[in-house]
Amino acid sequence: MGSMLVDERDIRFVLFEQLKVQELCGNGKFSEFSGEVFEMVLAEALKFAENILFPLNIKGDKESARFEDGKVYSTPGTKEAYQRFVEGGWLTPCEDEEIGGQGMPHVIMTATHEMFFVNFPFMCYVNLTHDAAKLIELYGTDEQKRLYMEPMYGGQWTGTMALTEAGAGSDVGVGKCKAIRKPDGTYFIVGSKIFITNGEHDVAENIVHMVLARIEGDPPGTKGLSIFIVPKYRVNKDGSLGEHNDINCVGIEHKMGLNASPTTSLAFGENRKCTGYILGQEREGIKIMFHMMNVSRLEVGMWGQSVCSASYLHALNYAREREQGMSVAKPDPLKQVPIIEHPDIRRQLLTMKAHVEGMRAMLYYCGYAMDRTGVAEDDEERQRWGRLVDLLIPICKAYPTEKGVLFASDAIQIHGGYGYSSEYPVEQFMRDSKVACIFEGTTGIQAMDLTFRKLGMKKGKVFADFLAGMDEMADRADRLSGWKKYADQFRKTKNALSEIPSVLAEHAGKGTPVYPFLKATPVLEAAGDVVVSWFLLWGAVVAQEKLEALFLEKGAEDSARQEELIKENAEAAYLAGKVQSARFFIGGVLPVTDGKIEAIKWGDCSAWETQDRSFGV
Ligand SMILES: Cc1cc2nc3c(=O)[nH]c(=O)nc-3n(C[C@H](O)[C@H](O)[C@H](O)COP(=O)(O)OP(=O)(O)OC[C@H]3O[C@@H](n4cnc5c(N)ncnc54)[C@H](O)[C@@H]3O)c2cc1C
């Protein structure tokens, strides 16, 4: 068996055969790259993930981040790994060369992130630093770029995203952290933040916090928030480090997982000596922070994918090795068979495999769409790709992260009792993965973003056009032998989904304005099912055409010879497996989605109508 983290063949399939990302290289922006270069990048990334990041992740679960006397000590090996990561150019692969990047397409970075996210605590250093520096690149003054962005992109300093306060989680607009204008144009920052990832650590010499705070006198709510660059150590004009900036770490959380990642509580300006530097204009905080949050949402979604992939491959490996019970096909009480031969295990494995492949294509497509905005020929095309990314972000964040918890649990199930013990890493996958459904906006918040903002973009046209564009693949599937039934099921579910915006509006209009709030999470689940099934259908059409060509080339004309070829030939086995993933999803998952959509349309409001006391007296 190949890698236990990701299926390299499927990654190459999605990138080069489904999305055909090598065609991006024909364009000026990416003309220095080629398919071969991309393959080399992917191979290097996998080596780094397997040899350094994954072992460090297992170690970090046991030798977790430690808090002592206001200082945080990271898992041994983290600092060295971070330096190697930076030296490898992995921190800024997509940035322009003038600022130390390599100008690589986002879609390739997305694929490398699926590998690197096998160590999410480590990748928090990377992502938060990169994404905070990106804000400074986009909104900072030239001096801010020189003083902060450069050492962050250079890997000397790290970054954070400091939004959450004790009373302000999902409802970030009620934050109490204050900024007080100083005569020199800077601000005193006073207040407390909680749950701040990497708010204190020993991996880098300085930490640059991106802090949301309200300038005295500014209005309440999110519209009154501004964003500040608040370094742990002040920075002198020549870039050297100055005095401590009165930011104190008062503790770290004790969590069910993600133990290597310090989740800190920070006190800003206890001695009135914490200075912040405004980024952009006053009261633009949320608009600017949203840029970071959108990128972070995609990253967290990719972490969900990474958990699903590693869970699946660990379960598959175990199912091939573990012998229990006799064969259903050829019962022999004296002969135990590997558990992969049991139908129920196969069902669980194919559920995981199909989702992993479909979500991979969905997430990579998002990266690809971002690249298309960068190479678009006109503004209309740029905006079209940009809106597609906006539409997909809540699905890409919430759907894979929810599946991450589910499939980590399924992987434990397939390991039986051993899965529940710490001998195998799958129990860690499950403990770690839950938080992905919580931070960067909970699943419920993503669902409301999809239902209230994204489905209504351009009066619903963005969503309607996206769904209508899926018909082409169903039509291509119609022409393949044995596919008509599957293409019809796909159209049926997709068409039912397309009616949801008007169904929600109808219920809301009929005196139940709360109805879309009640159904937002089921809407996101159903939308995720349909989007994933489209990517699977697309992949299966490409795979089946290739498989038929391979059968022809190898002279496998009848079904017996074709079965034989699939047994003997790795490429035929892969392509056949790709086709089966799509069939399984469309035939086994979409009929359930039909039921979910039916329930959304049905009109039940009991959860809203149940009086608070009736939930439990
Ligand atoms: C390990 C970890 C790392 C973190 N890292 C960071 C970080 O680096 N920076 C940072 O700023 N924050 C960070 N956070 C905080 C995280 O972003 C918040 O926990 C998250 O936004 C949810 O806020 P909350 O915990 O206050 O939950 P709440 O907002 O209290 O939500 C509780 C429940 O109510 C639901 N809910 C809330 N409001 C609504 C609504 N209007 N409608 C429907 N349902 C609603 C939520 O979906 C959730 O299910 C981190 C958290 C953890 C656990």
282-336 pLDDT, tens digit per residue, is 999 999 998 888 899 999 999 999 999 999 999 999 999 999 999 999 999 999 9
* In-domain check, residue 21: no
- The residues, any chain, with a CB within 8 Å of residue 561's CB and separated by 6 or more, are 551, 555
Does the C-beta of 266 come closer than 6 Å to ligand 1? no
**CA distance to 3, 10, 113, 242, per residue, from 40 (Å):** 16, 16, 15, 42
Looking at the chain, the whole-number percentage of residues with pLDDT higher than 90 is 97
Counting the structural domains of the chain, the total is 1
556-607 pLDDT, tens digit per residue, is 999 999 999 999 999 999 999 999 999 999 999 999 999 999 999 999 999 9
Placement of tokens 């962050």 in the chain: 152
CB 518 within 8 A of CB 605: yes
Placement of tokens 């005569």 in the chain: 183
pLDDT reported for residue 391: 98
* In-domain check, residue 462: yes
Q: What are φ and ψ of residue 333, in 5° steps? A: -60, -20
HEC profile for 275-344? EEEECCCCCCHHHHHHHHHHHHHHHHHHHHHHHHHHHHHHHHHHHHHCECCCCCCCCCCCCCCEHHHCHH
Return the DSSP state at 160: E
Residue 245 has pLDDT above 80, yes or no: yes
The residue to mutate among 130, 252, 439, having the most atoms of ligand 1 within 8 angstroms of its beta carbon, is 439
Looking at the chain, the whole-number percentage of residues with pLDDT higher than 70 is 100
Q: How far apart are CA 447 and CA 101, in angstroms?
A: 34
Closest to 214 (Cα-Cα) out of 187, 248, 183, 254 = 187
Atom of ligand 1 nearest to the CA of 128: 8
State how far Cα 608 lies from the chain centre.
31
385-408 pLDDT, tens digit per residue, is 999 999 999 999 999 999 999 999
* In-domain check, residue 586: yes
The DSSP bridge pattern shows strands 178-181 and 206-215 to be: parallel
pLDDT (mean) for 37-65: 97
Identity of the residue numbered 188: F
Does the C-beta of 445 come closer than 6 Å to ligand 1? yes
* Residue 467: strand, helix, or coil: helix
Placement of tokens 């060509």 in the chain: 549
pLDDT reported for residue 432: 98
- For every residue of 194-236, DSSP letters joined together read EEEETSS-SSSSEEEEEEEEEETTPPSSGGGEEEEEEESEEE-
Residue 27 pLDDT class (50, 70, 90 cuts): low
Residue 466 pLDDT class (50, 70, 90 cuts): very high
Q: How far apart are CA 315 and CA 564, in angstroms?
A: 26
Q: How far apart are CA 301 and CA 150, in angstroms?
A: 28
* In-domain check, residue 299: no
| C-alpha 323 – ligand 1 centre gap (Å) | 43
pLDDT (mean) for 41-47: 97
pLDDT reported for residue 28: 81
Does the C-beta of 170 come closer than 6 Å to ligand 1? yes
Q: Whose CA is nearest to atom 26 of ligand 1?
A: 169
* In-domain check, residue 587: yes
81-98 pLDDT, tens digit per residue, is 999 999 999 999 999 999
Taking the alpha carbons of 463, 467, 472, 476 in that order, is the dihedral positive or negative?
positive
pLDDT (mean) for 171-195: 97
* In-domain check, residue 547: yes
pLDDT reported for residue 1: 76
Does the C-beta of 196 come closer than 6 Å to ligand 1? yes
Does the C-beta of 405 come closer than 6 Å to ligand 1? no
- The residues, any chain, with a CB within 8 Å of residue 186's CB and separated by 6 or more, are 275, 276, 277, 278
pTM of this prediction exceeds 0.85:
yes
* Structural domain of 597: 444-604
